[in-house]
A and B are shown apart, each in its own frame.
Chain A
Amino acid sequence: SQTIHQWPATLVQPVGSPLSLECTVEGTSNPNLYWYRQAAGRGLQLLFYSVGIGQISSEVPQNLSASRPQDRQFILSSKKLLLSDSGFYLCAWGDGSGANVLTFGAGSRLTVL
Chain B
Amino acid sequence: EAQVTQNPRYLITVTGKKLTVTCSQNMNHEYMSWYRQDPGLGLRQIYYSMNVEVTDKGDVPEGYKVSRKEKRNFPLILESPSPNQTSLYFCASSSTFPGQAIIANSPLHFGNGTRLTVT
- The reply to whether chain A is a binding partner of chain B is no
Give me the interface of A with B, judged by CB distance under 8 Å: none
Give me the interface of B with A, judged by CB distance under 8 Å: none
